[in-house]
Amino acid sequence: MQDGFESPLPLQEQRPGGPFRHPAVIAVATLVALAALYLLFFRGPAPLPSQSVAQTRLPFGAEEKAYVPRLEFSNFEMSQAENFLNQQVTYLAGDVLNSGDRTLSGVEAIIEFQDDMKQIALRETRPIFFGPLAQLPPGKSAHFQISFDHIPPSWNQQLPSVQISGIRFDASGR
């Protein structure tokens, strides 16, 4: 006889399998595994907290300053394009010629954009020529391109000034 509290539906069978039969548990476990793999393989080493901006700049002592007249910039071009986020990006491209007698492994410059009143609208220090395999032998030139994500609207639309602010000589010698 049926009690008023008993269900008229048949009891469901209990299946073995534990908590891993639920799709939500499987989805969460998969996401956690993918996140762990990403962190393990695709994230670079954390930067050292003791590294400061001054330590990442190229040297510019007396020897480097004496070498600056032997570097010549030419073929400057400015262009603008839209990136995939529909933001305007401005590019400065050009060539640097090493007319000296030493091989360089890095060149850094200060780029200054001016406004209509000849005041500095934007000043940034950027690497022109760099990298672990970069070498600029004597008598050779290298092409460079630098992108700027945000240039103030007060910029006078003229070529910026470019001044050498750091040079790294190749460690292998002259």
What does the pLDDT look like over 27-64, one tens digit per residue? Answer: 888 988 888 888 777 776 655 555 444 458 899 999 99
What domains can you pick out in the chain, each with its CATH number? 59-169 (2.60.40)
pLDDT of residue 172: 77
Provide the pLDDT for residue 26. Answer: 84
What SS3 string covers the chain?
CCCCCCCCCCCCCCCCCHHHHCHHHHHHHHHHHHHHHHHHHCCCCCCCCCCCHHHHCCCCCHHHHHHHHHEEEEEEEEEEEECCCCCEEEEEEEEEEECCCCCEEEEEEEEEEEECCCCEEEEEEEEEECCCCCCECCCCEEEEEEEECCCCCCECCCCCEEEEEEEEECCCCC
- Predicted confidence at residue 22, as pLDDT, reads 75
Residues 83-132 pLDDT 10s: 888 889 999 999 999 999 999 999 999 999 999 999 999 999 999 988 88
Structure tokens at 43: 């994230």
Residue 144 scores a pLDDT above 80: yes
Q: How far apart are CA 112 and CA 44, in angstroms?
A: 32
